[in-house]
Every structure is written in structure tokens, then in C-alpha cells.
Structure 1
Amino acid sequence: MTHGKQWPLLAARGFHDMFAGTWIESDDPDEIARLLGSDPATAAPCGLEEAMREYEPYAFRELVWLGEHSSGWIHAVTIAGPRLRTDLLAAAGRRFVQVVWEPHGLGVHDLYYSDGTAAGRCSPVDIADPGWPFHEYTEGLVPRRPDLIDVFSAGPAEPVGSLGLWLENWLILAGRVSGRLIDEQYLDATRRLYSVPI
């Protein structure tokens, strides 16, 4: 699977203050919504541009733009609220990976994941560790490069240097696990905006 840069596609759609995407093994978005405590009857079909009118990271409500990503996989993008809780997915035995970018906090979070049996977190610096369930998808992904210059500032984190590499690694890995990278066609599709209890 070839890949271009994933983060610029998301940044161009406005995910500057937070991005939390959860790729979940399933063919049924409504089933996943119900598993998360949402009522699918109240979900509103919309494109991402319309969904982003509700963009409010850390709000005291949770809105998730959720729909088919590839055959056998759903993608849930948090539009409002904190990152999607994954404990209910793990308890139901669902395979998932979750990528979180938070410039006003950690920058790149650990990858939250479940292989359907065990759930956990993987640090970006441990991406090449052969002991974790999604190791087979990490070919060519490295935790550091000798030519990488890290830039640190007192302000919000920027997706450059190691942070940029780690973010791109996680997004590529999520695409490999789910069988589809994010592309313009994906971002231009109509999915549904679900309200999920926090």
C-alpha cells in the first residue's frame, strides 16, 4: 500500500486543536454507535465540512462523525468532546486503533488499540517493538531518523520533527490495519454525526 502524507489532509479540514480518530473493525456503523451508547435514530447524515461546524474539542458533549471506512472497518472521528472512549469497544472484543493529536497537551498520544482480545497502548518510540499485536503493519515506520531536527517551543505542539514523524506513523499504521488510508474521497463522503454519551 503506497501512501502520501496523511496529516496535511486532516489539517486542511480544520483539525488544528485536536484530532481523535478511531478505526474499528465492523461493517455496521449503527451497531458501533449503539455499542458506544448512541441512538442511531438521532444521527444526522452530513459531510465532514458540515460536521466541522460543530467542531469543539473538549466540549461537555461528544459528537462523532462515523461511517464506513473500508470493507470490514468503520472510522469514527471525534468532532466535539474528548477522544472517544475505547473501553466499551475493548469489552465487546472489537479490534480498533485510535490516533490522537493534541497540540495543547501531549502532541502525539500513545496509540490506543485492541487486537480483539487484549487492549493497550503503544508509545510512538516503541513502534518497531515486535512484541505488540500490530507489529506486522509497521514495515518502514521508524521511531526516529538521523536527519530529523526537533523544534521545541513554549506554545502549542507542532506536527514537525519527531512529533510529525510519530503522528504520520500512527495515521499510516491505522490505514494499513484498516486497509485504507485517508484520502480526499474519504473526506468528501457523507457519513453520520452521532451524539455519544461522555
Structure 2
Amino acid sequence: MRRSEYLWHRLHGHALAAEFSAVWVDRLELDELAQRVGADFRQARRCDRDEVFGIGDATVIWADRLTDDWLQIFEFRGYACSGALRELSAHGGRAVHVGWGLNGVRDLTYVSDGYHTTGFSVTVPGERSGNAPAALDALAEGLMFDVDDTSWMTDPELQPEWPAFEEWSAWMEENGYSVGDEDGEQPLPEAFGDFYGLSLNGYHPSLATCVTSALTLVGRLTGREVDEAWLNGAHTRLTIPHRW
């Protein structure tokens, strides 16, 4: 594992890498978080990561204190928090969102006191918005936000078999093959097993570096990164019924 992509791999170890959405909010308690996003705090319960689901199709929030000042909020099956950054940061607070999924990586968004301070592309350098687009620049020093960067190709930490796997994957796609034992399918070479599993979860060296950089920036802002202690802990689960 390359050091520049370690936070992607950390989330992958908890089945969170393929699709992820998290919000960090300061100056807010859990009961007020529930009120601002329409969750019933009376139904809140503590659970670990394995117990988050199994409660219908409602939006699920898994949240807890990250530091004395900041809450860390993971959201599943909906965007109740990332869609309410203005409300969550109102009255002198701050909120930041990082997320990605099947449609790609969403912009990192930072809101303060209800105002959109800055948003920028995690994968395309120079794409910015907000009232103060450079507000987080000091925290971005040394980080990489360019999915087209090719420096990973010569990184000595890159697993040496990865280029061969990429070549094989491109050949499979060009020829319309899929992996399997049926007609028209191709067997998975044993040497590529781990890489294939990573790729199914959206892994690519440059992309993993971009999202690790985004999470590193958030860690610098809040004072604590997404770490194993938090991921392995029990936190508050809130549910928000879908409003059709």
C-alpha cells in the first residue's frame, strides 16, 4: 500500500470504499444534529458498524464526537446531512463534506455560519467555488487533487504487478470479456485476485490518492483523521424516513 492512499485503504477495510459520504460539523451536539436534519433522537441507539443497517430503507446517520469540537457523521442511503450543510453550520458553526460513489467523487464542500465558503474538485485541479475559494489552501499543502496525475507509475511503493493488471483489465474491456467460467468469460489470473477485488471497489492509485488527500485535509481541519479507533467503536445511529 502506498502511503499517499492509506486512508482509502482504511475505509476499504471497513467496507466503506466503494461508496462513502461523511460530514464533519463543529459546535453541535447529537440531539441538535438530529433536530436539524429531521431525525427522531428518541429512537437513537448505539451500535457498531456491523449493526448500522437492517432497519428498512430509511436514511441512516452514524455519528459521534470526533474531537471536543467536531462531530463525525457517516450517512448511508441518503444525503440528509451533506444536503443540509448550511443548516448544520448555522449560528457560527462550520461543516465540511467529502463523498464519492458510482458517479465519481463529489466536490469537497466547506460551509461556515450558513454560507458556502469554498468547494473544490477533489480530482480536477483548479475547479473551485464559494465566497472564499482559497479558504482551505493552507490545509492542502503537499496534497494531491489530480486524478490524471501519473506520478504513481514510478512510485517505488506501487505494487509491481499493478501495471500488468491494468493492461489485462484494458484488454478484457476492449474485447468485451468479463470474469467467470461461462462462455464468453475469461478466468481471473491468480496473481490478479487482490487487484481485481480492489478495482471492484473503485480502486485506482491516482483516485485513492485524491480521496486520501481530501480526508487528510479534513483531518487537518478537525484535528483528527478517520482512524481505526473511531471506525471500530460504537456510535449513535439515527434514522430519517424518506419523504417522497
TM-score higher than 0.5: yes
* Structure 1 residue 157: Cα displacement: 7.3
For residues 60-139 of structure 1, the aligned pairs below 5 Å read 61-82=58-79, 84=81, 85-86=83-84, 87-102=86-101, 104-106=102-104, 108-116=105-113, 118-119=115-116, 120-124=118-122, 125-126=124-125, 131-139=133-141
For residues 136-155 of structure 1, the aligned pairs below 5 Å read 136-144=138-146, 145-148=149-152
User: C-alpha separation between the residues in 1 aligned to 2:218 and 2:126?
Assistant: 12
User: C-alpha separation between the residues in 1 aligned to 2:100 and 2:108?
Assistant: 10
For residues 1-198 of structure 1, the aligned pairs below 5 Å read 5-51=6-52, 53-54=53-54, 59=57, 61-82=58-79, 84=81, 85-86=83-84, 87-102=86-101, 104-106=102-104, 108-116=105-113, 118-119=115-116, 120-124=118-122, 125-126=124-125, 131-144=133-146, 145-148=149-152, 158-198=202-242
Q: CA RMSD in A?
A: 3.2
CA separation of 1:54/1:80 partners in 2, compared to 1, >3 Å: closer, same or farther? farther
Identity value in percent: 23
Which amino acid counterpart does residue 163 of structure 1 have in structure 2?
Answer: L
CA separation of 1:121/1:157 partners in 2, compared to 1, >3 Å: closer, same or farther? farther
Q: Which moved more, 1:70-79 or 1:91-100?
A: 91-100
CA separation of 1:197/1:89 partners in 2, compared to 1, >3 Å: closer, same or farther? farther
Q: Secondary structure of the residue that 1:30 maps to in structure 2?
A: helix
Q: Which moved more, 1:21-30 or 1:138-147?
A: 138-147
Q: Which moved more, 1:157-166 or 1:22-31?
A: 157-166
Normalized per residue, the structure richer in strand is 1
* Structure 1 residue 94: Cα displacement: 2.9
For structure 1, the 5+ residue unaligned runs are: none
User: C-alpha separation between the residues in 2 aligned to 1:131 and 1:175?
Assistant: 19
Q: Which has the larger radius of gyration?
A: 2
State the number of aligned residues. 191
User: C-alpha separation between the residues in 1 aligned to 2:55 and 2:219?
Assistant: 23
User: C-alpha separation between the residues in 2 aligned to 1:77 and 1:190?
Assistant: 13
User: C-alpha separation between the residues in 2 aligned to 1:95 and 1:170?
Assistant: 17
Which amino acid counterpart does residue 196 of structure 1 have in structure 2?
Answer: I
Q: Which moved more, 1:111-120 or 1:33-42?
A: 111-120
Normalized per residue, the structure richer in helix is 2
Q: Which moved more, 1:30-39 or 1:152-161?
A: 152-161
* Structure 1 residue 73: Cα displacement: 0.1
